[in-house]
Amino acid sequence: MIRTIYWDNNAVVMIDQKALPLQETYLTCKHYEEVIKAINDLTVRGAPAIGVAAALGIALGALCIESGDPEGFRTDFYRICERFAATRPTARNLFWAVEKMKKRFAESASLSPARRKEALVAEAIRICEEDSAANRAMGRHGRSLIKNGDTILTHCNAGALATAGYGTALGVIRAAREEGKELHVFVDETRPVLQGARLTAWELTKENIPATLITDSMAGSLMQQGRINLIIVGADRIALNGDTANKIGTYTLAVLAKEHGIPFYIAAPLSTIDLSVQEGRAIPIEEREGEEVSCYHGVRTAPAGIKVYNPAFDVTPHRYITAIITEKGIATAPYGESLQRLVAAQAFG
Binding residues for ligand MRU, rule: CB under 6 A, are 45-48, 156, 158, 162-163, 168, 195, 233-236, 246-247, 312
Q: Which helix (H) or strand (E) holds 245?
A: strand 244-247
Identity of the residue, 12 or 193, whose beta carbon is nearer to ligand MRU in the bound complex:
193
Q: Which residues are bridge partners to 214 per DSSP?
A: 188
Shortest distance, position 270 Cβ to ligand MRU, whole Å: 13
- 304: phi then psi, degrees, rounded to nearest 5: -60, 140
Identity of the residue, 43 or 108, whose beta carbon is nearer to ligand MRU in the bound complex:
43
DSSP state of 334: S
Shortest distance, position 177 Cβ to ligand MRU, whole Å: 18
Per the rule left: phi > 0, alpha: psi between -120 and 50, beta: everything else, 42 is left
Active site positions, annotated: 236
Shortest distance, position 244 Cβ to ligand MRU, whole Å: 10
Shortest distance, position 274 Cβ to ligand MRU, whole Å: 14
The number of beta carbons lying within 10 Å of the beta carbon of residue 255 is 15
Cis preceding-peptide flag for 284 (omega within 30 of 0): no
- What is the helix, strand, coil percentage profile of the chain, to 5? 45, 15, 35
Identity of the residue, 272 or 338, whose beta carbon is nearer to ligand MRU in the bound complex:
272
- 281: phi then psi, degrees, rounded to nearest 5: -55, -25
Identity of the residue, 65 or 172, whose beta carbon is nearer to ligand MRU in the bound complex:
172
- Return d(Cα 215, Cα 143) in angstroms, integer: 26
Shortest distance, position 336 Cβ to ligand MRU, whole Å: 22
Nearest-CB residue to ligand MRU?
234
DSSP 186-214: EEE--TTTTHIIIIIHHHHHHTT--EEEE
**Radius of gyration from C-alpha coordinates of the chain:** 20
Identity of the residue, 233 or 323, whose beta carbon is nearer to ligand MRU in the bound complex:
233
